[in-house]
Amino acid sequence: MNSGKSIFSQLMDFLPAYEFRQCVERYQGNYKLKSFSCWDQFLCMAFAQLTYRESLRDIEACLRANQTKLYHLGIRGRVSRNTLAHANSTRDWRIYADFAHLLIKQARELYLNDDFGLALEQTVYALDATTIDLCLSLFPWAYFRKRKGAVKLHTLLDLRGNIPTVIIITHGLIHDVHLLDQLTFEPGAFYVMDRAYLDFPRLHRLHLSSAFFVTRAKKRFDCRRLYSQPVDRASGVICDQLVVLVNPIPRQGYPEKLRRIRYFDHLTNKRMVFLTNNFTLPPLAIAQLYRSRWQVELFFKWIKQHLRIKKFYGTSENALKTQIWIAISIYVLVAIVKKQLKLETSLYRILQILSVTLFEKTPILEALSSLDYEIQLSTAGKQLILFH
């Protein structure tokens, strides 16, 4: 790596520039532009994410304070808050969504053989959504409640590397279960989800795709037991049964057999009932699969704490989606760098280092691998375990 380059430039060198230009051309992002290209916009927003800038004025002040270095950072256009605000509100957010998906594909290939705690050859996905609260007077298009605005971030997380494979941004009123209508299910893969996704016709479509689901039953779940299999109660498994639905409407949606597993979690002192269409895995493995769903909750908590997706630089729908997709791109980029440079440091620690060293002209590997201490995790910081 060229030691004459700033760390910011070295980090951006990991991005596929040709593929970015293809995304821009697909939506004519640079049409009739004389200065401040889509690449300039991306670099400014990436800088804001990496250094935790609070506002457009904050971005402008920091970059203008380093005006002589901007050319070497790759920023050719003049940086101003009005120019950046206009770019965020008018340039198609799909440019950055498509580019993020390219990075996601690259990251998944790098983390393909990573261990996520369960000895399974199949891919395991965790499905969930998180709500990002907005001020309704500033974001009137994001109507959620009478006096509250919000958008939802629907995410399908690959547990090998905790890479988000599908991200869909919707208004807050859209129910979580509708994401199942937009997914193409991977045969043989496991989809782990909570009770919000318990919709039998949709789960049957997943079943017909030769994929497996693991979810929890609702309290009022009527079924008829067909067969009970022997279990080891010392493991926490209370029963392992084959059942069929009783009520006519749910049974019409899912006419086939289901597997119901009752499990007592000694850690939380709770009884849980799992439903799955997989009849071969041991019942304890099903319970452990559902426990792994917590990784997507940790992912949401992590990105809300360490990326700029709770405070926005613009109020239009296009500006909001642009900022979220660039934030996701930076998250995946850091994950790619971590894997390609074979770093043992957590993503959180890498972001901490990058936030204060972007303008330094040190080889990026030297800057990121010079840590010789262990990260001590407190109980309040359990979300960092996700990225060890």
Express each pLDDT in 88-112 by its tens digit: 999 999 999 999 999 999 999 999 8
- Asked whether residue 116 carries a pLDDT value surpassing 80, the answer given is no
Q: What proportion of the chain, given as a percentage, has pLDDT over 70?
A: 94
pLDDT tens-place string over residues 330-386: 999 999 999 999 998 888 899 999 999 999 888 999 988 865 444 443 434 444 444
Query: What pLDDT was estimated at residue 267?
Result: 81
What was the pLDDT predicted at 370?
A: 64
Q: Please check whether residues 267 and 328 belong to one and the same domain.
A: no
Query: Do 92 and 98 touch, CB atoms closer than 8 A?
Result: no
- Is residue 134 assigned to a domain? no
**Residue range of the domain that includes 253:** 195-282
Residue 201 located in a structural domain: yes
pLDDT at 344: 87
Q: What is the mean pLDDT of residues 156-175?
A: 91
pTM confidence score: 0.87
20-25: average pLDDT: 96
* Domain membership flag for residue 115: no
Rg (CA), the chain: 23
**pLDDT value of residue 265:** 85
- Mark whether 278 and 327 lie in a shared domain: no
Report pLDDT for 1: 44
Whether residue 346 sits in one domain with residue 271: no
Are 307 and 331 a contacting pair, CB within 8 Å?
Answer: yes
Q: Which residue did the predictor score with more confidence, 268 or 96?
A: 96
Report which of residues 38 and 310 the model is more confident about.
38
Is-contact 280 264, C-beta < 8 A? Answer: no
Domains: count for the chain: 2
List the Cα angle 315/321/322 in 5-degree steps.
95
For the ranges 3-7, 30-34, 317-321, the lowest mean pLDDT is seen at 3-7
Say if 60 falls within a structural domain.
yes
Give the pLDDT mean for 274-289: 93
Q: What pLDDT sits at residue 381?
A: 44
> In this structure, is residue 104 part of a structural domain?
no
Q: What is the pLDDT of residue 69?
A: 85
Residue-wise pLDDT tens digits, 41-59: 999 999 999 999 989 999 9
Q: Are residues 331 and 254 in the same domain?
A: no
Domain match, 245 and 322 both: no
Instruction: Tell me whether residue 169 is in a domain.
Output: no
DSSP H or E stretch at residue 128: strand 124-134
Q: pLDDT of 119-130, one tens digit each?
A: 788 899 999 999
Looking at the domain assignment, is residue 129 inside a domain? Answer: no
| pLDDT: which is higher, 228 or 146 | 228
Write down the pLDDT at residue 136.
87
Structure confidence at residue 383 (pLDDT): 43
Which residue carries 């193409």 as its tokens? 184
> What are the φ/ψ torsions at residue 223 (nearest 5 degrees)?
-150, 165
- What pLDDT does 382 receive? 44
**pLDDT reported for residue 226:** 93
Question: Does the residue 306 lie in any domain?
Answer: no
Q: What are phi and psi of 360, to 5 degrees?
A: -75, 150
Residue 371: predicted pLDDT = 52
Q: What percent of the chain has pLDDT over 90?
A: 62
